[in-house]
Structure 1
Amino acid sequence: MKKKSFLLFLTIVAVFFITDRAVYLMLHRIEKEVFTGQSVGKANLFNKVKDSVELLVMGSSRAARHVDPDLFPLSGYNMGMDGTHLGYATALLSSLNRKGQTILVHVDHHEVFNADYMGEDMLALLNESMDSEEMEGFINEYYPEDILLSKMTNCYVYNGKVLGMFKNAFMDSGVSKPTNGFSPLTPSAQQKQTFEQILEKEGITQNIEMPDTLVVNEKFESMVDFAIETAKRNNSKLIFFTSPSLNKVKKGARQRTTDFFNSKGLLYLDDLDFFKEFDIDYWKDRSHMSKLGAEIYSTKLEKDISPFIEVH
């Protein structure tokens, strides 16, 4: 009886293992043909162009919506991704091989001091880690249990991605259009009117809550250190920046942020107050500029970094 139970157990394990690998291979084959959408497409396009461009922009939606690589004298790609932070950006950095790139990484002041941040956004790249030993090693430093799960059941890496991936593969054909990754926002007349009403009611600016004690998050700092080492290895120029916002941060927190990056020997550009006068045409909401505002800011950012980069 025990022997039969053991054989049944082995059979179940074998069926599970074979089914998991087969489904993963099918999903992986579909994924590699998708170059649209944020579930897998933009990362795939990044992998396709990362070693052919001279400028990379990374960070959250405030990177994706605010920096147009076409306004820089370098070939570039904007890998800003909605809902991500430094963990996602540094995981991508781990896969870079090209020498002499300029890498712009967007951060917001509150991210530096957020004690609850654990880098969980990097897990959105678990599927990419299956094809990159460097990325797998990086994620393993922070989330070894997820890497272990991905080894036990390969399909785990597509958790939460399948529907978006299938939509872009079969409904949008998955065909990539020429893009530099920049995703500008163009408010409709109705959206602009709604935003005006919100500002009239609540005021133009709002203050961002910051911790009473401005202690740099240890994991955030370790990711910055990793980014520095990666840039050194590739002889690349690493620059951190904060783009304009209508959300305001106290002077002490801004200075502490500047001091932190300066202590690492990094160039940090704090452009939170770039627009001295409010013009609603420059904004989609308090955190995101419109396409017009982004173009004005991108021109300014290009001028600021030009003394520190080489144009090939």
Structure 2
Amino acid sequence: MGRKKTIYVFKIIISFLAISFIVDKAAYFLMNRVSDEVYSGQGIGKLNQYLKTKNNYDFIVFGSSRANHHVNPNKISKNSYNMGVDGTMIAYSHSLIKVLPKKKQTILLHIDPSNAFSKDYVGEDIKALKSKYNRNSIITKNIDQLSQNNVFQKFYWCLGYNKIVIPIFKNFFYPKYDYRKYDGYDPIHVSKSQEKIFKKILNEPKTDDCLENYEINKLYNSLIDDLILFSKNNNKELIVFNSPVYYDYCEQDNIEFRKIMKEKQVRYYDFSKLFQDNNSIEFWRDRTHLSSIGAEVFSDTLALKIL
């Protein structure tokens, strides 16, 4: 290729990159304008509501679906919010806790002991916050530290909206609920057919799921320590809990995790056996998720412990 052709190709590439960069930024600011008006749906609405109102609460619940569907925060405080999100673990919760203001608040964090001892966990759930990557310095820092960033997102900001554009526009035009009346709690209402399916599952053989040794995942350990320090420095009370299960494949992880929480001097409640003596089928959606009926009973018990 001659020198003139090389320069020509180079100019085309530069022009293409410049145009794509401009288009990306224009689309990004448009998406921001739209998404900032969305306050329903777990994709971004719940997150937006939390970031907008987080300073107002005195009690906030964090964790996975076993926090989202199990804890009615109004049983503990009328000035509360449940920021549990399905499929998330400690990295997601950690980042959202770290954006809280320096004021007195109680933090209730769900941690599943089996996840805390997983060797494979690297904080991939924090990617659910990628839409805020270029908008919140704490979230940016945490995503980068966990190496869960897309290097191109530093230049092409619209990548943060990848896979959530349709839910955003859907909730923009057709909100699922009035967020002003929403406290983040999403109880699971179980149908009779779902109850029958669960009964059949209960007849299947149970397996032993114990590990050979129990060493807490290094990332879990470091994030818990960071939250303890953050809580002390920002007037927070950190409470960790494990919600009920219908039956536990292995109880040893619960025992070992309880020891770790005691060593760290963290207020911890293990409710995994809460319904052991009264295990009504109507309390459950599946082995690890409570129905709306079970969640209300659990929330009453939790309130008695915390208050």
Runs of 4+ displaced beyond 6 Å: none
- 1:26-59 deviations in Å (ceiling 9; x for gaps): 1111111111111111101111221100011000
Q: 1:52 & 1:298 partners in 2: Cα distance? A: 22
- 1:249 shift after superposition: 4.6
In structure 1, the partner of 2:262 is 262
- Do residues 191 (structure 1) and 194 (structure 2) align? yes
In structure 2, the partner of 1:75 is 79
- The letter for the 2-side match of 1:181 is G
- Do residues 299 (structure 1) and 303 (structure 2) align? no
- 1:134 shift after superposition: 1.6
- 1:92-113 deviations in Å (ceiling 9; x for gaps): 1121114111001101111111
1:81-96 → structure 2 map (5 Å cutoff): 81-96=85-100
- Across the aligned residues of Structure 1 and Structure 2, the Cα RMSD in angstroms comes to 1.8
TM-score (norm. length: structure 2): 0.93
Relative distance call for 1:281 and 1:266 in structure 2 (3 A) is same
Q: 1:93 & 1:30 partners in 2: Cα distance? A: 25
Q: 1:180 & 1:171 partners in 2: Cα distance? A: 19
Q: 2:176 & 2:274 partners in 1: Cα distance? A: 40
Q: 2:285 & 2:177 partners in 1: Cα distance? A: 28
C-alpha contact 2:124 2:148 (8 A) present in aligned 1: no
C-alpha contact 1:247 1:286 (8 A) present in aligned 2: yes
Q: 1:23 aligns with which of 20, 27, 35?
A: 27
Equivalent position SS for 1:213: coil
1:1-312 → structure 2 map (5 Å cutoff): 1=4, 2-143=6-147, 145-146=149-150, 148-172=151-175, 176-199=179-202, 201-202=203-204, 206=206, 209-275=209-275, 276-306=277-307
- The letter for the 2-side match of 1:279 is S
- The letter for the 1-side match of 2:160 is V
Q: 1:174 & 1:29 partners in 2: Cα distance? A: 20
Q: 1:207 & 1:55 partners in 2: Cα distance? A: 38
C-alpha contact 1:231 1:238 (8 A) present in aligned 2: yes
C-alpha contact 1:33 1:174 (8 A) present in aligned 2: no
- 1:299 shift after superposition: 1.2
Q: 2:261 & 2:229 partners in 1: Cα distance? A: 14
Q: Percent identity?
A: 32
In structure 2, the partner of 1:309 is none
- 1:172-201 deviations in Å (ceiling 9; x for gaps): 3785351110000111222223322332x3
Q: 2:258 & 2:304 partners in 1: Cα distance? A: 20
- 1:206-237 deviations in Å (ceiling 9; x for gaps): 45723211111101111112211221221100
Q: 1:281 & 1:175 partners in 2: Cα distance? A: 29
- The letter for the 2-side match of 1:168 is N
Q: 2:67 & 2:132 partners in 1: Cα distance? A: 21
- 1:74 shift after superposition: 4.9
- 1:289 shift after superposition: 0.8
In structure 2, the partner of 1:310 is none
- 1:250 shift after superposition: 3.1
C-alpha contact 2:198 2:286 (8 A) present in aligned 1: yes
- 1:111-146 deviations in Å (ceiling 9; x for gaps): 111000001000110112322112211222112643
Q: 2:305 & 2:207 partners in 1: Cα distance? A: 27
C-alpha contact 1:51 1:98 (8 A) present in aligned 2: no
TM-score (norm. length: structure 1): 0.91
- Equivalent pairs counted in the alignment come to 302
Q: 2:262 & 2:286 partners in 1: Cα distance? A: 30
Q: 1:238 & 1:268 partners in 2: Cα distance? A: 9
Q: 1:82 & 1:73 partners in 2: Cα distance? A: 23
Q: 1:175 & 1:13 partners in 2: Cα distance? A: 42
C-alpha contact 1:86 1:220 (8 A) present in aligned 2: yes
- 1:4-47 deviations in Å (ceiling 9; x for gaps): 23322221111010011111111111111111111111101111
- In structure 2, the gaps of 5 or more residues are none
Q: 1:304 & 1:168 partners in 2: Cα distance? A: 37
Q: 1:235 & 1:244 partners in 2: Cα distance? A: 29
Q: 2:167 & 2:7 partners in 1: Cα distance? A: 44
